[in-house]
Amino acid sequence: MQGIKKRWVRTYLLIVMGVALVILFAFLLTVRSFYYNYVYRGLENYLSVTTGFYEKYLQQNQYSFDEVAQLIVRDFESGDLVELQVLDLEGVIHYSSAGFIPEAPVQTEDYSEALAGEPSKWIGRNPETGERLMAITGTIRRQEGSTIAAIRYVSSLTYADAMIYRAAVYSLFAVGVILVLMLITSESFSRSILTPIRNIIRVSKRMAEGDLSERIPYHYKDEIGELCETINYMADQLQKSEVMKNEFISSISHEIRTPLTAITGWGETILTGGFEDMSQVERGLGVIMRETERLSVMVTELLDFSRIESGRFTLYLEVFRLDQELAEIIEMYKPRAEKEGVQIEFVLKSEEVFLEGDSNRLKQVVINLLDNAIKFSLPGKRVTVHLEELEDEVVITIADQGIGMSKEELKHAKDKFYKGTSKKSGSGLGLAICDEIVELHGGKLVLDSAPGKGTTAAIHLRR
């Protein structure tokens, strides 16, 4: 398997090298253009001065070709940098400031284009020495327009090419240094990414094996650091969930064992017979019924929780009257509330409230919240149930005057397996299941509580 590091370094270097070569090529073209234009401008200046002066001079005096050529060569002063050539109309060189006159006529395009009317440039090699040259050719004409001779200035490009070559060598050296620096920085950068990734892989494997105590070290507040922080947070939450799950298993085992013990004890007692007072039998049967109902509630919560976790929790939607369902639930709980010394008040701000939803599941939510309100209320207190129909939602509010919850308890009240500090707390699944049911209806369950002031649960359901 090819590692990220190799792919990163290779891709990075290829991109940098490609960009560097493009910049180098453009730079060398610019350098070449600068030096060649410098040479060309010098030759062009020579040609312009020579042709301009002698054409004006010839307009006033009548000279032959040889006389004009001798005057031009005599007055030319440029040392060894530029060679002046005077050509006839056949391309034959008659005079040269270098003193050496080639036998072969000039046949380059600068000469032929100059005879056509405009000065022209040629770049090429000397066929005898191989030296690179630049030449510019113009003509001298009489006043009536006839051409007397061609003037050709030739300069060696050896110095210009040497400067271009030097610039290329320096540039290649600079590119090499840049590539080495880029290799070093890419190595360091890839290491800064790969090290936390390796840590992530290592810690993730440990988590997969069940060890949630391991954490990923990180040193930068970037995307990798954020990923490490997120995974560490996930591990914290998983560890908390694991602790809560273990506590839940221990608690539910105790919760199941207690009613089973009562049921078994009273069942064996009743089976032995010999009761003189039937009220004891009724008492025993009452205990068995209550504990059986308690077990049934716990089993229902466990089944609902299992369906939620596996994604098999489904709703059966229908349009029903929510106000009637609430009235039935309150009537069902009034005897229990009276037995606990708690008064239930139902405030209906809208009549005939219709809602599309799963009536049984929403009834389960209200029963759970109402049961909690009664259970945590002190004798002589009131539980108020409000139903209000708004423009885009229906709100059910259940408020008690019970013991309330602290901010920490309220923060985790809807978490799975969370049980408050009160001994009256149940399995730790009730509110989590209620919250899930409300969310499946597209609504939200909002809790508000304060110690000693009671708890308010508001169910917001979209219409």
The answer to whether position 184 is within a domain reads no
Q: Let me know whether 329 and 305 are in one domain.
A: no
The answer to whether position 213 is within a domain reads no
- Structure confidence at residue 421 as a pLDDT band (50, 70, 90): low
Return d(Cα 191, Cα 362) in angstroms, integer: 55
Q: Let me know whether 155 and 298 are in one domain.
A: no
- Structure confidence at residue 275 as a pLDDT band (50, 70, 90): low
For residue 17, give the CATH number of its domain: 3.30.450.20
The answer to whether position 15 is within a domain reads yes
H helical segments located in 76-222: 109-116, 158-208
Out of 163, 183, 204, a domain closes at 163
**CB-based contacts of 26, cutoff 8 Å, min separation 6:** none
CB of 353 closer than 8 Å to CB of 323: yes
What is the model's pLDDT at position 1? 45
- For the cut 90, the answer to whether the pLDDT of residue 459 exceeds it is yes
Q: Let me know whether 388 and 413 are in one domain.
A: yes
Return d(Cα 244, Cα 251) in angstroms, integer: 10
Q: Let me know whether 232 and 347 are in one domain.
A: no
Dig out the tokens for 232 from the structure. 């560490």
Packing angle, helices 278-310 and 430-440, rounded to 10? 50
pTM of the prediction? 0.47
Average pLDDT of the residues of the chain: 82
Q: What is the pLDDT of residues 82-103, one digit of tens each?
A: 888 888 888 888 888 877 788 7
Q: Let me know whether 13 and 48 are in one domain.
A: yes
| Lowest mean pLDDT, pick from 203-212, 257-266, 435-444 | 257-266
The answer to whether position 392 is within a domain reads yes
Out of 280, 310, 340, a domain closes at 310
What is the model's pLDDT at position 383? 92
Q: Let me know whether 357 and 297 are in one domain.
A: no
For residue 303, give the CATH number of its domain: 1.10.287.130
CA dihedral 299, 304, 307, 309 (to 10 degrees): -100
| Lowest mean pLDDT, pick from 55-59, 139-143, 207-211, 265-269 | 55-59
Q: Let me know whether 323 and 450 are in one domain.
A: yes
The answer to whether position 203 is within a domain reads no
For residue 446, give the CATH number of its domain: 3.30.565.10
Q: Let me know whether 37 and 156 are in one domain.
A: yes
What is the model's pLDDT at position 432? 84
Out of 125, 148, 163, a domain closes at 163
Q: Let me know whether 26 and 152 are in one domain.
A: yes
The answer to whether position 443 is within a domain reads yes
Q: Let me know whether 33 and 154 are in one domain.
A: yes
Dig out the tokens for 416 from the structure. 């799975």
The answer to whether position 425 is within a domain reads yes
Return the higher-pLDDT residue of 54 and 315.
315
Q: Let me know whether 251 and 123 are in one domain.
A: no
- For the cut 90, the answer to whether the pLDDT of residue 433 exceeds it is no
H helix or E strand, kind and range, residue 333: helix 322-340
Return d(Cα 5, Cα 7) in angstroms, integer: 6
Q: Which residue range is the domain that position 144 belongs to?
A: 4-163
- For the cut 80, the answer to whether the pLDDT of residue 175 exceeds it is yes
Return d(Cα 449, Cα 457) in angstroms, integer: 9
- For the cut 90, the answer to whether the pLDDT of residue 360 exceeds it is no
- Structure confidence at residue 5 as a pLDDT band (50, 70, 90): low
Q: What is the pLDDT of residues 10-27, one digit of tens each?
A: 777 788 888 888 888 999
How many C-beta atoms surround the C-beta of residue 333 within 10 A? Answer: 21
What is the model's pLDDT at position 240? 77
Q: Let me know whether 260 and 332 are in one domain.
A: no
At 220, is the secondary structure helix, strand, or coil? Answer: coil
The answer to whether position 195 is within a domain reads no
- Structure confidence at residue 34 as a pLDDT band (50, 70, 90): very high
* Domain count of the fold of the chain: 3
